[in-house]
Amino acid sequence: MPLRRELGLLDATMINVGTIIGSSIFIVPAAIAAAFTGSAPTILVWIAGALVSLCGALSIAELSAAMPEAGGQYVYLEKAYGPVWGYLYGWGAAVIINPASIAAVAVGFATYLGFFIPMGPGAIKLVAVASILLLTFLNYFGLRTGAITQNVLTLVKIAAVVGLVLACFLLPGGQFSNFEPLWPAESLGALISPFGVAMVGVLFAFDGWIEVTYVGSEVKDPGRILPRSIILSTLIVALLYVGVSIGVLYVLGQTATAHSNLVAADAMRVVLGSGGAALITIAVLVSTTGSNNGMVFTAARIPYAMAEEGRFPRWAARVHPRYQAPNVVLVVQGIWCAILALSGTYIQLAGYVVFVSFLFYALSSGAVLLLRRREPGMDRPYRAWGYPVTPLVFIAFSVYLIGNTVLAEPRDSAIGIGLLLAGLPIFWYYRRRPPAGAGG
């Protein structure tokens, strides 16, 4: 049974924005500020990260419009490089990357909830599990329920971030002198290394702009809506992130920002007093809930797409006859995420494979170049703006991220590759079997 096309432009855009904006923007600005002694490069690195992410978004948007099917990159990589590459991405995303991310965000949600309800480590894990199961339950009732939940949470989240930025600039507490020194005393050459390291954190904060492609088969008029939602969501998040980075510097200054553990809470405490920390905690709770709903909502479509082609167990291709959603996958995914949250191994798992996600991003951008040459007649409702510069720029930065991670964490990188390759025997087993078929 095929999935229904019900998602419009607002739904698709909110999926991406809601997934990208998690807890990073409330914490990462401190680490970025710590890399520099001047405010200008601290702001410029967020702008550069936005531009690089936009290059990736512009590239992937072309593939999403040409191949609007469930599974996103799984479909694109299979088309460009063959079944094994699509499968490797799908295996890593479905079994490790997405479940580990969902578990990590759920624990982050429970930890921040402790601001209002003090909890021990065990209680935090149980609350994290409860949040995962609740979001799984909401999405069980079909695409429309999950989309409405995502729209509401994301709109509230955007309002909260906008409110944070406006509070920094409109309420007493900030001053332009906090931007001094504008430029560090070090030479331009000395800034190259810390700028590159800071870019890693910024690009990870922007990660998630590809989420909507996982539900490509459920988007109305995908040739028009998919690329627009990808580009629009990246621009929205870029404006919010740059606004927050400038706002906290305006209130706290470079040094205080660099030494803050919860930079957004500290900035709000300056302009709103003790109640500011409570308000920003509420914003983080909404933000993490929206981010996790987006991942729960979309991630289940990857094993569904794999099962449709006979490369995953048949039950993963079953669609609920009433709710028109891959509910068996949703339930299994929820249980697996809950186990990871209880075990505490999700952070280690995510660390092993997170760099591999950028390997697949680079391959997807490369697929734009490859398919333009190999299949010039392919129907492309949208063509990447700035081609071939945009995909090449994104590939270059992805290669940098991958290389930097391999050099810094060779053991974890090797384990990550090993976890991905562990799926190959399953690939060869299911390749011999016929496709499950819709609802098989």
- Give pLDDT, residue 323: 63
Task: Report the pLDDT value the prediction gives residue 437, as an integer from 0 to 100.
Answer: 46
90 within 8 A of 305, measured Cβ to Cβ: yes
User: CA 405, 409, 412, 418: dihedral to nearest 10 degrees?
Assistant: 60
Do residues 37 and 268 lie in contact, with contact meaning Cβ atoms separated by under 8 Å? no
Q: Is residue 437 part of a domain?
A: no
**If you ran DSSP here, which 8-state letter would residue 311 be given?**
S
pLDDT of residue 389: 93
In a domain? residue 44: yes
Specify the pLDDT at position 207: 80
Query: With the CA atoms of 29, 395, 15 and 160 taken in that order, what torsion angle do they form, in degrees rounded to the nearest 10?
Result: 20
Q: What amino acid occupies position 54?
A: L
CA distance 77 to 248: 40
Joined together, the tokens standing for residue 146 give: 């999950």
Query: Which CA distances in Å does 398 have to 19, 111, 363, 405, 408?
Result: 20, 31, 9, 11, 15
- State the Cα–Cα distance between residues 417 and 65, nearest whole angstrom: 30
Residue in the block written with tokens 């449709």: 308
**The predicted structure's pLDDT at residue 352:** 65
**d(Cα 434, Cα 136) in Å, to the nearest integer?**
29
- Establish if 62 belongs to a structural domain: yes
Can you tell me the distance from the alpha carbon of 406 to that of 424, in angstroms, rounded to the nearest whole number? 22
Could you say which DSSP state residue 107 is in?
Answer: H
Q: How many domains does the chain have?
A: 1
Per-residue pLDDT tens for 177-232?
A: 999 888 887 777 777 778 877 887 788 788 877 777 777 677 788 778 888 888 89
End-to-end CA distance of the chain: 8
Query: Is residue 2 situated within a structural domain?
Result: no
Domain containing 157: what range? Answer: 9-427
Main-chain phi, psi angles of 174, to 5 degrees: -95, 160
Domain membership flag for residue 439:
no
Q: Considering only CA atoms, which of 298, 331, 382 is closest in space to residue 3?
A: 298
The pTM for the full model equals 0.78
The pLDDT, as a whole number, for residue 440 is 39
- The verdict on residue 354 lying in a domain is yes
Q: What is the pLDDT of residue 362?
A: 92
Write out the two tokens for 401.
């991220």
Is 39:182 a contact under the CB 8 Å cutoff?
Answer: yes
Q: Provide DSSP, 139-160.
A: HHT-HHHHHHHHHHHHHHHHHH
Is residue 4 assigned to a domain?
A: no
Over residues 6-33, the pLDDT tens digits come to 778 888 888 888 888 877 787 788 888 8
What does the buried/exposed string (b/e) look like for 123-136 if buried means 16 or more CB atoms within 10 Å of the residue's CB?
ebbbbbbebbbbbb
From CA 362, how far away is CA 370, in angstroms rounded?
12
Whether 287 maps to a domain, the answer reads yes
Distance CA 199, CA 93 (A): 23
Residue ranges of the chain whose pLDDT lies below 50: 436-440
**What CATH number is attached to the domain comprising 154?**
1.20.1740.10
List 7's β-bridge partners, or say none. 219
